[in-house]
Structure 1
Amino acid sequence: MSSIFPGDLWAVGETRVNDLSVIVRFRTELPSAADRELNENLIIISWPYIGIASGMPNDEDKKNTNSFEEAIENGFENSSIGVQVACLTGNHLKEWRYYTHDVEAFLDAFNACLAEHPVYPINLRMFQDPDWKALSELQPEGSGQIH
C-alpha cells in the first residue's frame, strides 16, 4: 500500500510534550483524496515504557521496540492492507500510526507478523479519520498539506 505514497519521503522532527522531547518521524505528503477516503481507518499502536529521565527509551526499551517495529514493518512493507505514516518516540511512549481500508485484515496481518514474538506491552486504538488528521497534524503548517 506504500504505492499511495509514490515519493515515499519521510521527515524527522522534534516537539515537546509535558516538557519532554518527542522525536517524530512522518511521511511528508498526503495521498490523494481518493486514497485517503478509501483508507480512512486509523490504527494507533502505542507502547508505554519507563525509559530514562528525559522520557526517551532506555537500551532495553530500544531493543524491544526495535524488534517489534522491524516485525511489523516487514509484515506490512509490501502489503496492501496497511501503511505506516508516522512514528513518535518520547514522553515515555512510542507510537506508530497506520492507515488501512480493512481493520479486520489489518489485525490478522498484524497478529501474523508477530506470531513468533513474545507478548508486547502494546495498546491498539482504532478511529475513523477520513481527513488523515493523524498525519497532517504532524506536518508543518504551510507545507501545502491539509490542516
Structure 2
Amino acid sequence: MKLSNNWFTTVSETENGAMVIVCGRDDLELYVRSGKFKERVEIYWKYNGDSRGMPCESDARVMEPVQDALQKAMEKDKLAILTGVYTGDNERTWVFYTRNVPAFGEMLNKALSSFEKLPIVIYTEKDPDWNEYHEMYELRQEEGSDDVLADE
C-alpha cells in the first residue's frame, strides 16, 4: 500500500466558538480497511496564541519541524500514519493511527530526541473503526473545503 500525501484543509470551530484549522489526510481507505491500525494516538501541544488562538511565529517555527520529524519517523515503516492536524484555540493536535502504542512511544522519543523538552501531552485510545478520522473527514464534505495537494 502506497501512502499518499494528499491533504485537505477546512475551518471548524470549538464548542466555545474558537476557530480551528483542520488539515486532514485523503486517500486512506486501504489503511482503514486493512484493520492493522487499531489504536489512535493524539499529541497535544498547548501554546499561548494570538488573539485568534493561533500559534505565534516562534511556536509555529518549532511545531513544523516537530511535525516533520514525527511524520517521517512514524511513516517510514508504516508504524503509524498521521491522519489529521488541528490548530486553533491555543492548541495544536496531531492525530496518528498506529499498529502498536508501545513501539509508537519508543519511536516518538527517538524522533524528538534532538529537540529541547516540548510541552506535549499524549493520549491513546483504541479506535479500530477510525471513528475520529471519519468525523474529521465529514468536515471536509460539509464545508466543501479546498483540496491541498502536497508532494506525492
Cα distance in structure 1, aligned partners of 2:56 and 2:7: 25
Instruction: Give the alignment of 1:33-48 within 5 angstroms.
Output: 34-35=33-34, 37-48=35-46
Using the alignment, how far apart are the partners of 1:120 and 1:139 within structure 2? 29
1:79-98 equivalence runs, <5 A: 79-98=77-96
1:16 paired to 2:13: yes
Q: Out of 73, 76, 94, which is 2:74 matched to?
A: 76
Q: Which has the higher contact order (CA 8 A, sep 6+)?
A: 2
TM-score if structure 2 supplies the norm length? 0.83
Does the 8 A contact of 2:80 with 2:98 survive in 1? yes
In structure 1, how many angstroms separate the alpha carbons of the residues matched to 2:137 and 2:6? 12
Query: How far apart in 2 are the matches of 1:79 and 1:99?
Result: 13
Structure 2 residue 64 is the aligned partner of structure 1 residue 66: yes
Cα pair 1:4 1:31 within 8 Å, conserved:
no
Distance in 2 between residues matched to 1:142 and 1:51, nearest whole Å? 25
8 Å Cα contact 1:72/1:113 also seen in 2: yes
Which runs of no fewer than 5 residues in structure 2 stay unpaired? 142-152
User: What per-residue deviation string (whole Å, max 9, x for no partner) do you get for residues 39-94 of structure 1?
Assistant: 11000000011111101011111112112112212212322211100000001100
Q: Secondary structure of 1:57's match?
A: coil
**2:122 counterpart residue number:** 124
TM-score, normalised to structure 1, is: 0.85
Q: What is the CA-CA distance between 1:34 and the residue it aligns to?
A: 4.0
Q: Structure 1: which 4+ aligned runs deviate by more than 6 Å?
A: none
CA-based RMSD of the aligned residues comes to 1.9
In the aligned structure 1, how far is the partner of 2:5 from the partner of 2:111? 22
Equivalent residue letter for 1:9? N
**Structure 1 residue ranges without an equivalent (≥5):** none
Retained in 1: the 8 A contact 2:71–2:81?
Answer: no
Alignment coverage as a number of residue pairs: 139
Identity, in percent, stands at: 24
